[in-house]
Amino acid sequence: MPKRPIKLAPSILASDFTRLGQQVTEAEAAGADRIHVDVMDGHFVPNISIGVPIVKSLRPVTKLPLETHLMIENPDLFLEAFATAGSNTLIVHWEDNANLHRTVHEIRRLGLKAGVAINPATPANVLTEILPDLDLVLVMTVNPGWGGQRFIESTVPKIAQVRQMIDDRGLPCELEIDGGVDAATAPRGVEVGADVLVAGSSIFNAKESVAAAMQRLSKSVS
Protein backbone atom coordinates (compact mmCIF):
# COMPACT_ATOMS: atom_id res chain seq x y z
CA MET A 1 0.00 0.00 0.00
CA PRO A 2 1.13 3.62 -0.56
CA LYS A 3 2.90 5.35 2.32
CA ARG A 4 0.75 8.47 2.11
CA PRO A 5 -1.81 8.78 4.94
CA ILE A 6 -5.30 7.56 4.10
CA LYS A 7 -8.18 9.60 5.50
CA LEU A 8 -11.62 8.29 6.39
CA ALA A 9 -14.79 10.30 5.77
CA PRO A 10 -17.84 8.52 7.20
CA SER A 11 -20.97 9.40 5.24
CA ILE A 12 -23.99 10.09 7.39
CA LEU A 13 -26.33 9.13 4.54
CA ALA A 14 -26.21 5.60 5.95
CA SER A 15 -26.46 6.58 9.59
CA ASP A 16 -29.35 6.01 11.96
CA PHE A 17 -30.90 9.49 12.03
CA THR A 18 -32.52 8.83 15.37
CA ARG A 19 -28.96 8.62 16.74
CA LEU A 20 -27.15 10.91 14.30
CA GLY A 21 -25.28 13.01 16.84
CA GLN A 22 -24.25 9.94 18.80
CA GLN A 23 -22.98 8.12 15.70
CA VAL A 24 -21.01 11.13 14.52
CA THR A 25 -19.45 11.38 17.97
CA GLU A 26 -18.57 7.67 17.79
CA ALA A 27 -17.00 8.12 14.38
CA GLU A 28 -14.93 11.04 15.62
CA ALA A 29 -13.73 9.07 18.64
CA ALA A 30 -12.83 6.16 16.34
CA GLY A 31 -10.50 8.33 14.25
CA ALA A 32 -12.60 9.80 11.45
CA ASP A 33 -10.84 12.64 9.66
CA ARG A 34 -14.02 14.40 8.50
CA ILE A 35 -17.77 13.87 8.22
CA HIS A 36 -19.26 13.54 4.72
CA VAL A 37 -22.74 15.02 4.28
CA ASP A 38 -24.67 13.99 1.15
CA VAL A 39 -27.22 16.55 0.01
CA MET A 40 -29.69 15.40 -2.70
CA ASP A 41 -32.56 17.33 -4.21
CA GLY A 42 -34.55 14.73 -6.18
CA HIS A 43 -33.66 16.48 -9.45
CA PHE A 44 -29.92 16.15 -10.02
CA VAL A 45 -30.19 12.65 -8.55
CA PRO A 46 -33.33 10.52 -8.08
CA ASN A 47 -33.47 10.85 -4.33
CA ILE A 48 -34.01 13.48 -1.63
CA SER A 49 -31.84 13.45 1.45
CA ILE A 50 -30.87 16.23 3.85
CA GLY A 51 -30.05 19.92 3.80
CA VAL A 52 -28.85 22.99 5.65
CA PRO A 53 -30.57 22.22 9.00
CA ILE A 54 -28.67 18.95 9.40
CA VAL A 55 -25.32 20.64 8.80
CA LYS A 56 -26.25 23.33 11.30
CA SER A 57 -27.28 20.75 13.90
CA LEU A 58 -24.03 18.79 13.46
CA ARG A 59 -21.72 21.76 13.80
CA PRO A 60 -21.81 21.91 17.62
CA VAL A 61 -21.67 18.10 17.87
CA THR A 62 -18.24 17.56 16.31
CA LYS A 63 -14.94 19.36 15.88
CA LEU A 64 -14.30 17.46 12.65
CA PRO A 65 -14.54 19.24 9.30
CA LEU A 66 -17.95 18.89 7.68
CA GLU A 67 -17.61 18.02 4.01
CA THR A 68 -20.86 18.75 2.17
CA HIS A 69 -21.44 16.98 -1.15
CA LEU A 70 -24.00 18.94 -3.17
CA MET A 71 -25.80 16.57 -5.53
CA ILE A 72 -28.27 19.29 -6.46
CA GLU A 73 -29.27 21.54 -9.32
CA ASN A 74 -28.18 25.18 -9.11
CA PRO A 75 -25.75 24.72 -6.22
CA ASP A 76 -24.77 28.39 -6.41
CA LEU A 77 -28.08 29.25 -4.77
CA PHE A 78 -27.12 27.35 -1.60
CA LEU A 79 -23.38 27.87 -1.17
CA GLU A 80 -23.66 30.70 1.32
CA ALA A 81 -26.34 28.91 3.35
CA PHE A 82 -24.20 25.82 3.77
CA ALA A 83 -21.17 27.94 4.60
CA THR A 84 -23.14 29.79 7.29
CA ALA A 85 -24.47 26.49 8.66
CA GLY A 86 -20.94 25.27 9.32
CA SER A 87 -19.66 23.39 6.28
CA ASN A 88 -15.89 23.44 5.88
CA THR A 89 -15.76 22.00 2.35
CA LEU A 90 -18.31 22.18 -0.44
CA ILE A 91 -18.19 19.63 -3.25
CA VAL A 92 -20.11 20.35 -6.44
CA HIS A 93 -20.50 18.22 -9.56
CA TRP A 94 -18.90 18.90 -12.91
CA GLU A 95 -22.03 17.54 -14.59
CA ASP A 96 -24.70 20.07 -15.43
CA ASN A 97 -22.64 23.03 -14.23
CA ALA A 98 -22.05 25.53 -17.02
CA ASN A 99 -20.13 27.94 -14.76
CA LEU A 100 -17.94 25.64 -12.70
CA HIS A 101 -15.06 28.11 -12.41
CA ARG A 102 -17.40 30.74 -10.97
CA THR A 103 -18.91 28.23 -8.54
CA VAL A 104 -15.51 27.05 -7.29
CA HIS A 105 -14.28 30.59 -6.77
CA GLU A 106 -17.45 31.54 -4.93
CA ILE A 107 -16.82 28.63 -2.54
CA ARG A 108 -13.30 29.95 -2.02
CA ARG A 109 -14.60 33.49 -1.48
CA LEU A 110 -16.78 32.15 1.31
CA GLY A 111 -13.65 30.85 3.02
CA LEU A 112 -14.32 27.15 2.39
CA LYS A 113 -12.38 24.43 0.65
CA ALA A 114 -13.63 23.61 -2.84
CA GLY A 115 -14.12 20.18 -4.37
CA VAL A 116 -15.45 18.90 -7.67
CA ALA A 117 -17.04 15.49 -8.16
CA ILE A 118 -17.30 13.49 -11.38
CA ASN A 119 -19.72 10.64 -12.05
CA PRO A 120 -18.68 7.15 -13.23
CA ALA A 121 -19.38 7.91 -16.90
CA THR A 122 -17.59 11.29 -16.86
CA PRO A 123 -14.00 11.20 -18.18
CA ALA A 124 -11.15 12.46 -16.03
CA ASN A 125 -9.96 14.96 -18.61
CA VAL A 126 -12.89 17.31 -17.87
CA LEU A 127 -10.90 18.33 -14.80
CA THR A 128 -7.93 19.65 -16.76
CA GLU A 129 -8.80 23.35 -16.55
CA ILE A 130 -10.31 23.44 -13.07
CA LEU A 131 -7.86 21.16 -11.26
CA PRO A 132 -5.41 23.88 -10.12
CA ASP A 133 -8.28 25.67 -8.36
CA LEU A 134 -9.38 22.66 -6.30
CA ASP A 135 -8.64 21.37 -2.84
CA LEU A 136 -10.28 18.04 -3.60
CA VAL A 137 -11.45 15.85 -6.48
CA LEU A 138 -14.15 13.29 -5.76
CA VAL A 139 -14.36 10.35 -8.13
CA MET A 140 -17.76 8.71 -7.76
CA THR A 141 -17.42 4.94 -7.74
CA VAL A 142 -21.19 4.46 -7.95
CA ASN A 143 -23.85 6.49 -9.71
CA PRO A 144 -24.90 9.12 -7.15
CA GLY A 145 -28.31 9.07 -5.54
CA TRP A 146 -28.43 6.04 -3.25
CA GLY A 147 -26.38 4.46 -0.53
CA GLY A 148 -25.54 0.78 -0.42
CA GLN A 149 -24.61 0.38 -4.09
CA ARG A 150 -21.84 -1.88 -5.35
CA PHE A 151 -18.45 -0.39 -6.23
CA ILE A 152 -18.09 0.07 -10.00
CA GLU A 153 -14.81 -1.61 -10.87
CA SER A 154 -14.46 0.24 -14.17
CA THR A 155 -13.84 3.48 -12.25
CA VAL A 156 -10.48 2.23 -10.98
CA PRO A 157 -8.48 3.31 -14.07
CA LYS A 158 -10.05 6.77 -13.83
CA ILE A 159 -8.94 7.09 -10.20
CA ALA A 160 -5.41 6.30 -11.39
CA GLN A 161 -5.70 8.86 -14.18
CA VAL A 162 -6.80 11.62 -11.80
CA ARG A 163 -3.94 10.73 -9.45
CA GLN A 164 -1.51 11.10 -12.33
CA MET A 165 -3.01 14.45 -13.32
CA ILE A 166 -2.60 15.76 -9.78
CA ASP A 167 0.94 14.45 -9.37
CA ASP A 168 2.14 15.60 -12.79
CA ARG A 169 1.25 19.19 -11.85
CA GLY A 170 2.51 18.94 -8.29
CA LEU A 171 -0.83 19.97 -6.84
CA PRO A 172 -1.82 19.58 -3.16
CA CYS A 173 -5.31 18.48 -4.23
CA GLU A 174 -6.77 15.48 -2.38
CA LEU A 175 -8.27 12.55 -4.29
CA GLU A 176 -11.39 11.10 -2.73
CA ILE A 177 -13.57 8.16 -3.75
CA ASP A 178 -17.19 7.61 -2.82
CA GLY A 179 -19.51 4.66 -3.42
CA GLY A 180 -19.43 1.03 -2.39
CA VAL A 181 -16.27 1.61 -0.36
CA ASP A 182 -15.63 -1.14 2.17
CA ALA A 183 -12.77 -3.32 3.38
CA ALA A 184 -12.87 -5.33 0.15
CA THR A 185 -12.98 -2.45 -2.33
CA ALA A 186 -11.06 0.31 -0.55
CA PRO A 187 -7.66 -1.26 -1.31
CA ARG A 188 -8.42 -1.08 -5.04
CA GLY A 189 -8.94 2.66 -4.85
CA VAL A 190 -5.98 3.29 -2.57
CA GLU A 191 -3.63 1.22 -4.73
CA VAL A 192 -4.23 3.53 -7.68
CA GLY A 193 -4.07 6.79 -5.80
CA ALA A 194 -7.08 7.62 -3.62
CA ASP A 195 -6.15 9.20 -0.31
CA VAL A 196 -9.62 9.90 1.13
CA LEU A 197 -12.29 7.22 1.51
CA VAL A 198 -15.96 8.08 1.85
CA ALA A 199 -17.82 5.17 3.43
CA GLY A 200 -21.41 5.03 4.59
CA SER A 201 -23.01 1.61 4.66
CA SER A 202 -19.78 -0.17 5.59
CA ILE A 203 -19.48 2.02 8.70
CA PHE A 204 -23.01 2.84 9.84
CA ASN A 205 -24.88 -0.22 8.55
CA ALA A 206 -22.35 -2.72 9.80
CA LYS A 207 -23.45 -5.29 12.36
CA GLU A 208 -20.46 -4.30 14.44
CA SER A 209 -19.95 -0.97 16.19
CA VAL A 210 -18.98 2.19 14.32
CA ALA A 211 -15.53 1.99 15.89
CA ALA A 212 -15.04 -1.66 14.85
CA ALA A 213 -16.26 -0.96 11.32
CA MET A 214 -13.88 1.97 10.96
CA GLN A 215 -11.02 -0.09 12.31
CA ARG A 216 -11.76 -2.81 9.77
CA LEU A 217 -11.76 -0.30 6.92
CA SER A 218 -8.58 1.40 8.10
CA LYS A 219 -6.79 -1.90 8.51
CA SER A 220 -7.69 -2.92 4.94
CA VAL A 221 -5.61 -0.06 3.54
CA SER A 222 -2.75 0.01 6.02
One-letter-per-residue 3-state SS of 196-208: EEEECHHHHCCCC
Q: Single out the catalytic residue among 16, 33, 38, 76.
A: 38
Tell me whether residue 178 is one of the annotated catalytic residues: yes
Tell me whether residue 38 is one of the annotated catalytic residues: yes
Q: Which of 217, 189, 188, 195 is nearest to 204 (CA)?
A: 217
Q: Single out the catalytic residue among 76, 133, 135, 178.
A: 178
Pairwise CA distance, residues 122 & 163, whole Å? 16
H helical segments located in the chain: 20-29, 52-58, 79-85, 100-109, 156-168, 186-191, 201-204, 210-220
Phi-psi region of 180 (alpha: psi -120 to 50; beta: other; left: phi over 0): left
Catalytic residues: 38, 178
